[in-house]
Chains A and B, each alone.
Chain A
Amino acid sequence: ILNVEQSPQSLHVQEGDSTNFTCSFPSSNFYALHWYRWETAKSPEALFVMTLNGDEKKKGRISATLNTKEGYSYLYIKGSQPEDSATYLCALGGYSTLTFGKGTMLLVSP
Chain B
Amino acid sequence: GAGVSQSPRYKVAKRGQDVALRCDPISGHVSLFWYQQALGQGPEFLTYFQNEAQLDKSGLPSDRFFAERPEGSVSTLKIQRTQQEDSAVYLCASSPGNTGELFFGEGSRLTVL
Mutual binders A and B: no
Where the two chains meet, the residues of A that have a C-beta atom closer than 8 Å to any C-beta of B are none
